[in-house]
Amino acid sequence: DKTVDIGVSLEKLQSLADAAHQKFKDDTDGKNADYIPELAKIPSELFGVCIMTVNGDVITVGDVDYSFAIESVSKPFTLSMLLRDDGYEAVLEKIGVEPTGLPFNSVAAVELHKSAVNPLVNAGAMASVSMVDADSPKARFEKILSYFEEFADDDLTVIDSIYESEAATNWHNKGIAWLLDSYGKLYADPDEVCDVYTKQCSIGVTARQLATMGATLANGGQNPKSGKRLLPTDQVPKLLAIMLSCGFYDGSGQWACEAGLPSKTGVGGGIVSVVPGRFAIVGFSPPLDEHGNSVRAQNAIKYIAEELELSLFNGRN
Amino acid sequence: DKTVDIGVSLEKLQSLADAAHQKFKDDTDGKNADYIPELAKIPSELFGVCIMTVNGDVITVGDVDYSFAIESVSKPFTLSMLLRDDGYEAVLEKIGVEPTGLPFNSVAAVELHKSAVNPLVNAGAMASVSMVDADSPKARFEKILSYFEEFADDDLTVIDSIYESEAATNWHNKGIAWLLDSYGKLYADPDEVCDVYTKQCSIGVTARQLATMGATLANGGQNPKSGKRLLPTDQVPKLLAIMLSCGFYDGSGQWACEAGLPSKTGVGGGIVSVVPGRFAIVGFSPPLDEHGNSVRAQNAIKYIAEELELSLFNGRN
Amino acid sequence: DKTVDIGVSLEKLQSLADAAHQKFKDDTDGKNADYIPELAKIPSELFGVCIMTVNGDVITVGDVDYSFAIESVSKPFTLSMLLRDDGYEAVLEKIGVEPTGLPFNSVAAVELHKSAVNPLVNAGAMASVSMVDADSPKARFEKILSYFEEFADDDLTVIDSIYESEAATNWHNKGIAWLLDSYGKLYADPDEVCDVYTKQCSIGVTARQLATMGATLANGGQNPKSGKRLLPTDQVPKLLAIMLSCGFYDGSGQWACEAGLPSKTGVGGGIVSVVPGRFAIVGFSPPLDEHGNSVRAQNAIKYIAEELELSLFNGRN
Amino acid sequence: DKTVDIGVSLEKLQSLADAAHQKFKDDTDGKNADYIPELAKIPSELFGVCIMTVNGDVITVGDVDYSFAIESVSKPFTLSMLLRDDGYEAVLEKIGVEPTGLPFNSVAAVELHKSAVNPLVNAGAMASVSMVDADSPKARFEKILSYFEEFADDDLTVIDSIYESEAATNWHNKGIAWLLDSYGKLYADPDEVCDVYTKQCSIGVTARQLATMGATLANGGQNPKSGKRLLPTDQVPKLLAIMLSCGFYDGSGQWACEAGLPSKTGVGGGIVSVVPGRFAIVGFSPPLDEHGNSVRAQNAIKYIAEELELSLFNGRN
């Protein structure tokens, strides 16, 4: 394999990652998600930044090997399987690709559109899970887990304590799943789908693993470490477009202005941003802002994006 | 000035524009906007495609010199003036930058957010007009017109028959303007703002002129023909991000997937798409699909975008 | 017991019931509910009118002994048990008493208010079921059934074919139940509540039985046949007020204007209207209008109400 | 004229009014409306209760001759003119009669239904004003004022300071008026209608005058003092039904349960309740609860209604 020119040296990337970590590590704004005790317990000072290039080079600083719950950052990767197996048209018809302008768990949006609206809100993420072709809930989850492992090029496991806590309180999601089902827009048993989705959200990833997952998207769907193709190249821009439009829920427009990168955020404190053709940046730190996005992770990614003018809305440089 | 490498030859661009025109000119799907008789009267067979590069080169095919009402395609250019004069933070605070997930004229969205939500729906476009610094409605409109003329590097005039028809039926917009005012999110007299906005929508542009306007955005805010800077470079990505997130109303997510270009559509039949650092593509043809977007213009732009893999969500090529 | 003066002779009531039946029996407007095949199968020509006075006198015409699914007409009777056991304040706090202005199965209303809104929409009816004090789903249902039997002064049974069909398609209700649960506004296990509610809706009643149930409310909570008190007198006006405000869903305002009587309608084709202190009128006929209310039953009740000026909004006569 | 038996002695009514006044006069809960300074300035300790019977007898206690802004209590009286001149069917079709389940000034409700929804929210009250048949705004207002004067059997005047303040801040209503117009559901010029409506709300009434207005409705549409018929008898129940369903906005259901009387409330501190065939009760006191209803007036009316079991949902007594 020849090395791709990613437009910046690894030294520069490392120094920017270091600077971002230094700049924001003492920022104590935000607080851990607390809707389940397990998330509240995670040390708030954890903070890692990891960049993985399309050449497989890796830049790290801070807590990049702490395994946190992937939560909503899982959504684009399940969507990726659908784009691979069913294609964009199926996703468009069966789920939708429009931002909702409403919170991630809005049922009014579901009722209004009689569909999940897009794959990156809870409704659409469960619709995505339900579209995964499998014979049983167990097979469904294992297919997802194994696909995620190929993205991470590493073993991944469910964080049981998180899964058990969330499974005991995922009533709102159950409600959404049954509603979708009543509109004919869930494609497997609602209770099972909700459970598999909850388990998917409880998968533990490190910033390092998540960076590999993101770098696979940056690399046109081919894992830069293993070389395995996980998504056809022509589906990647569609996945990234959905991430840009919907990845930060009702803050997606602002993130598009300020970072300009397809990204996905999760209440576990992780954020992945993709610079197509170049690299992925992952930030991880538990304390969240009022919208549920990691304060330090956002700041670190925005800092690096601004310094390198990474916004897709810049002209080619 | 040195010539920028736009990554494709002018010959190739011309042949793609020709092919797109040939491919879609006989497609009679859609119909003219008919909410005012003046728009319904425009010949449906009109169809032009124009590409203007950041070097000022121009590619044309078909009816590129027919002057049509700019309508909603005007919105990003007024927004441009605010980004120049007030900056992004002011736009974020006074208007907002989030897609609504609802139709372009939704008042429920305005009530829910107690703001205009984003500058590319009617509410936000009027909020934009109201933020233009001027002593009188006349001065306000002339400032806008003159700014648009600098974008087009040409004289522009209001199409009086369109303006008069729309001014006699813009009740919904008046309602929105007064509501915004009641939330403290309109910054000048509602009746006057609504009138200036109506006039702004009635400005006539040709595909050629609109391509120059778009090329100015592709060129980082500097008009490629006149060389005049109309927007600071650092504000351009923000404007383009808003166009990508919100430029096709409740079809913006789908357009981001399928074309992947910051764009703005109008019921006059025009669409402008910006390929940052390279060129702008304009399509014009009156018949609209059920969402109010020109059928032929959409198809032509998507065709060229796909052939050249222009989507911003492709890696650098 | 002394006989109450109900302000009209039984002969007059009989002749009005006969006239109403005659007048509307050949009206073939509307069609049976068809969301489950069992409801679609019921003979459309069935039509009965039954009036039961607070003295226990009964007026009948037509198919008053055909047992049909009580469906939503069950809702006020379960509410009655709550008013008896928990009181109005508990209902106000735990469910709500406001009309929604939205369809009977709206989840947007539930999300907006984070509660069931009122006991006569599906959300509130399930919240009502969940408030019934019982140790098991079986006990819960039997308590409801037995209370309904005391209202009807007769044995009642579930129509199994209806129950089975509805149980296989009550996904939307399951969605609502889980949502309510997520807002802390369902007071028992959602799946079980939804099942008991479905069974409650499948209880078979005849027009004659339903008229006894209604007459118990007209009689201040005391069954005019058995003499048993089923609801304290002071809670009856509250129940009837809720029926007037919410009993016809998003057509409640119009029904209040045109009939002026507390009423409840169901997709099984039954409607019960209460004339406090005097009698209850029941109409039954399967074909429904576009709002889901029996065409013939509405017309018959309105006819009798107009002839006798029964609207509560008339002055005392 | 023979005297109607109102089912209670005047002595009893007086003693209940006195008791209600005594019981609540020291309750300092709530605060004056403050969206315009003029309303905030009115002495908070003002408190009057007035009952006018269908025989023209009057019971008073406290500040019954202080002239306060009628505000939303005006709405049913303008509606009365429409019911007289155009009839119920016209009101049903052109305005609607359903409770919205949403706040009095909701535009989402208007957008959802593409109509004013009911005559007692702001949208519907402006639609009502627009339906008044008149050649000019001046004539329109004078027709309304003169009709109100016939209801009050007294001269009425606009409180100029209130009118001027409200006219300078009625932007939200202007927005609603233009929206209605855009849906074809306003029947005169929006700006003029909004102004006439604002003036109508600024008409000063005393509790004594308002009680006469209410007693005219209690008396089947005939003024008990002047003997003039202001509304055909058969339209009165429809007006009262709308007042019961919609008169307390999104608290109408609760008021129906707790007072059980057709009523209308206004931010000026007045509430009128109608006991059909018997009398009207007016309470007036400026401090409002969080829903915008006079605390003391509500309590006084509920107290009297409970003591005399006036709820329409009681059986005849």
Q: Which of residues 285-314 of C touch D (CB under 8 A)?
A: 311-314
Q: At what angle do helices A122-131 and A171-182 cross, to 10 degrees?
A: 60
Number of domains present in the structure of chain B: 2
D144 within 8 A of D134, measured Cβ to Cβ: no
Query: Exposed, middle or buried, D4 (CB in 10 Å: 0-12/13-18/19+)?
Result: middle
pLDDT at D317: 45
> Measured between CB atoms, which of D106, D112, D182 is closest to B175?
D182
Set of chain B residues whose Cβ sits within 8 Å of the Cβ of D112? 108
Give the mutation candidate from D36, D107, D117 for the B interface (greatest B CB count, under 10 A): D107
- Which of D173, D198, D176 lies closest to D110, judged by CA? D176
Q: CA dist D121 to C126, D101, D172, D188, Å?
A: 30, 11, 13, 18
Question: How many beta-carbon pairs below 8 A join chains A and B?
Answer: 144
* Helix pair angle (A207-218, A137-152), 10° resolution: 80
Please indicate, yes or no, if residue D258 is contained in any of the structural domains.
yes
Cβ D99–C245 below 8 Å, yes or no?
yes
Chains touching chain A, criterion 3+ CB pairs below 8 Å: B, C
Which chain A residues are within 8 Å of B241, Cβ to Cβ?
A: 253, 256-257, 260, 311, 313
Spacing of C-alpha A191 from chain mean position: 23
In angstroms, rounded to a whole number, what is the distance separating the alpha carbons of residues B62 and C11? Answer: 84
pLDDT single digits (tens) B231-246: 999 999 999 999 999 9
Q: A147 and A107 in one domain?
A: yes
Taking residues A16-26, report their average pLDDT.
Answer: 98
For residue C281, the cross-strand partners are C51, C273
Inspect the interface and report whether the beta carbons of D276 and C315 lie closer than 8 Å: yes
Give the long-range contacts of residues D102-107, CB within 8 A, separation 24 or more: D102/C101, D102/D250, D103/D249, D103/D250, D104/D72, D104/D249, D104/D250, D104/D292, D105/D172, D105/D173, D105/D176, D106/B111, D107/B107, D107/B108, D107/B110, D107/B111, D107/B175, D107/B179, D107/D175, D107/D176, D107/D179
pLDDT at B101: 79
| DSSP secondary structure of D228-285 | -B-S-GGGHHHHHHHHHHHTTGGGHHHHHHHT-S-EEE-TTSEEEEEETTTEEEEEE-
Please give the Cα distance from D267 to D284 (Å, whole number).
Answer: 10
The mean pLDDT of A275-289, rounded to a whole number, is 97
Is B92 part of the contact surface with chain A (CB cutoff 8 Å)? yes
C188: Cα within 13 Å, side-chain hemisphere: 24
What residue ranges in chain C does DSSP mark as E strands?
48-53, 58-62, 68-69, 204-205, 263-265, 270-275, 279-284
Chain A CA closest to residue C103: A111
| Whether residue B170 sits in one domain with residue B273 | no
User: What are the φ and ψ backbone dihedral angles of C61, each rounded to 5 degrees?
Assistant: -155, 135
Do residue C90 and residue C182 come from a single domain? yes
Element (H, E) at C126: helix C122-131
Is residue B153 within 8 A of residue B230, CB to CB? The reply is: no
Would you say residue D315 lies in a domain? Answer: no
Q: What is the pLDDT of residue B105?
A: 81
Touch B-C: 3+ C-beta pairs under 8 A:
no
Q: Is A260 helix (H, G, I), strand (E, B) or coil?
A: coil
**Is B63 domain-assigned?**
yes
**Distances, alpha carbon C32 to alpha carbons B134, B224, C284, C285, in Å:** 63, 68, 12, 9
Q: What is the pLDDT of residues D165-193, one digit of tens each?
A: 999 989 999 999 999 999 999 999 999 99
D–A contact: 3+ Cβ pairs < 8 A:
no
* Interface with A, mutate which of B93, B316, B317 (most A CBs under 10 A): B316
Intervals of chain B under pLDDT 50: 317
Least Cα separation, residue B106 to chain D (angstroms): 8
pLDDT category of residue A1 using cuts at 50, 70 and 90: low
Q: Which chain D positions have a beta carbon within 8 Å of C82's beta carbon?
A: none
Query: What whole-number percentage of chain D has pLDDT above 70?
Result: 99
Per the structure block, which two tokens stand in for D92?
């049903």
B82 lies in some domain:
yes
Residues of C with Cβ-Cβ distance to A177 under 8 angstroms: 175, 178
Amino acid in the structure at residue C86 = D
pLDDT in tens, A39-60: 999 999 999 999 999 999 999 9
Q: Are residues D39 and D83 both part of a single domain?
A: no
- Say what the pLDDT of residue B9 is: 97
Tell me what the pLDDT averaged over chain A comes to: 95
pLDDT at C317: 45
Query: Which chain A residue is nearest to residue B54, measuring alpha carbons?
Result: A315
Say if residue C84 is in the same domain as residue C180: yes
Return the residue matching tokens 């209760």: D49
- Using CB atoms and an 8 Å cut-off, which of residues 190-249 of chain C contact chain A? 190
B311/A241 touch (CB, cutoff 8 Å), yes or no? yes
Q: Residue B304 and residue C47: Cα distance in Å, rounded?
A: 65
Identify whether residues B62 and B79 lie together within a single domain: no
Q: Is A283 left (phi over 0), alpha (psi -120 to 50) or beta?
A: beta
- Calpha distance C271→C293 (Å, rounded): 8
By the 8 A CB rule, do C88 and C245 touch? no
Residue A109: predicted pLDDT? 87
- State whether D175 and B171 contact (CB < 8 Å): no
List, as one string, the DSSP characters of D121-180: SHHHHHHHHHHS--SSHHHHHHHHHHHHHHHHTS---B-HHHHHHHHTT-HHHHHHHHHH
**Cβ contact (<8 Å) for B111 and D106?**
yes
Q: Do A237 and B118 touch (CB under 8 A)?
A: no
Q: How far is CA A17 from the centre of its chain?
A: 20
Using the 3D structure, point to which of D201, D235, D253 is the last residue of a domain. Answer: D201
d(Cα A124, Cα B256) in Å, to the nearest integer? 18
pLDDT at residue A244 in the model: 97
A151 CA to chain C: closest CA distance, Å?
33
| Beta-carbon separation of A313 and B250 below 8 A | no
Is D3 inside any structural domain?
no
Same domain, A83 and A195: yes
| Complex-level ipTM beyond the 0.90 threshold | yes
Chosen domain end from C136, C171, C201: C201
Question: Does D179 contact B181 at a Cβ distance shorter than 8 Å?
Answer: no
CATH number at residue B47: 3.40.710.10
Instruction: Kindly give the pairing relationship between strand D204-205 and strand D68-69.
Output: antiparallel
Taken in order A69, A72, A74, A78, the sign of the CA dihedral is positive
Are both C131 and C189 inside the same structural domain? Answer: yes
What's the whole-number mean pLDDT along residues A300-306? 98
- How far is CA B246 from its chain centroid? 11
C112 chain-A contacts, CB cut-off 8 A: 108
Q: Are both D250 and D278 inside the same structural domain?
A: yes
- For chain C, how are helix, strand and coil distributed in percent, rounded to 5? 50, 10, 40
Give D191 to chain B, closest Cα distance, Å: 10
Region of residue C227 (phi > 0: left; psi between -120 and 50: alpha; otherwise: beta): left
Contact B270, B210 (CB under 8 A): yes
Which residue on chain C is closest to D257 by alpha carbon? Answer: C238
Residue C58 β-bridge partners: C52
Last residue of a domain, one of C170, C201, C232: C201
Residue C304: phi, psi to the nearest 5?
A: -65, -40
Enter the tokens of residue D56: 């023209």
Q: Which residues of chain C neighbour D254 with C-beta distances below 8 Å?
A: 92, 97-98
- Which pLDDT tens digit goes with each residue over A61-79? 999 999 999 999 999 999 9
Cβ of residue D106 closer than 8 Å to a chain B Cβ: yes
Asked, for residue A3, whether it belongs to a domain, the answer is: no
CB proximity D257 to C under 8 Å: yes
The 10s digit of each residue's pLDDT in D90-115 is 999 999 999 987 777 888 889 888 99
Q: Convert the pLDDT of each residue in A89-142 to its tens digit.
A: 999 999 999 998 777 788 888 988 899 999 999 999 999 999 999 999 999 999
Cα–Cα distances in Å, from B12 out to A314, B23, B51, B135, B259?
Answer: 24, 16, 12, 48, 19
Cβ pair D175:B177 closer than 8 A: yes
Helix (H) or strand (E) holding D207: helix D207-218
Find the CB nearest A172 among C106, C172, C179: C179
Same domain for A232 and A271? Answer: yes
C79 contact D CB<8A:
no
Tens of pLDDT, residues D12-62:
999 999 999 999 999 999 999 988 889 999 999 999 999 999 999 999 999
| D122 close to B (CB below 8 A) | no
The partner residue sitting opposite A97, judged by closest CB among B253, B277, B313, is B253
DSSP string, chain B: -PPP--SS-HHHHHHHHHHHHHHHTT---SB---SSHHHHHS-TT--EEEEEETTS-EEEEESTT--EE-GGGGHHHHHHHHHHHT-HHHHHHHT-----SS-TT-HHHHHHHTS---TTSHHHHHHHHHHS--SSHHHHHHHHHHHHHHHHTS---B-HHHHHHHHTT-HHHHHHHHHHHHTT---S-HHHHHHHHHHHHTBEE-HHHHHHHHHHHHTTTB-TTT--B-S-GGGHHHHHHHHHHHTTGGGHHHHHHHT-S-EEE-TTSEEEEEETTTEEEEEE-S-B-TTS-BHHHHHHHHHHHHHTT--TTSPP-
Average pLDDT score over residue span D156-161 = 97
Predicted local distance difference test score (pLDDT) of residue A112: 87
Work out the number of other CB atoms within 10 angstroms of the CB of residue A3. 10
- Based on the domain organization, do B67 and B78 belong to the same domain? no
How many CA atoms within 13 Å lie on the side-chain side of B148?
29
Domain presence at residue C315:
no
Residue A242 forms part of a structural domain: yes
Q: In Å, how far are A105, B185, C125, D97, D196 from D179, measured between CA atoms?
A: 30, 18, 36, 19, 17
> Residue B99 and residue A252: Cβ atoms within 8 Å?
yes
The boundaries of the domain holding residue B110 are 74-201
> What integer pLDDT is reported at residue D291 of this predicted model?
87
| Per-block mean pLDDT, blocks of 10 residues, chain C (317 long) | 88 98 96 90 97 98 98 98 98 95 83 92 97 97 98 98 94 95 97 98 98 98 98 97 93 96 97 97 96 96 97 81
Nearest to A183 by CA among A242, A124, A239, A140: A124
Distance set, CA D84 to CA D120, D133, D141, D235, D238 (Å): 17, 12, 17, 7, 11
C150 touches chain A (CB under 8 A): no
Three-state DSSP class for residue D222: strand
Cα dihedral sign for A94, A95, A96, A101? Answer: positive
- pLDDT higher for A214 or B101? A214
Residue C162 sits in the same domain as residue C45: no
Rounded to whole angstroms, the Cα distance separating D244 from C315 reads 14
- The pLDDT of residue D102 is 79
Please indicate if any CB of chain A lies within 8 Å of the CB of B103: no
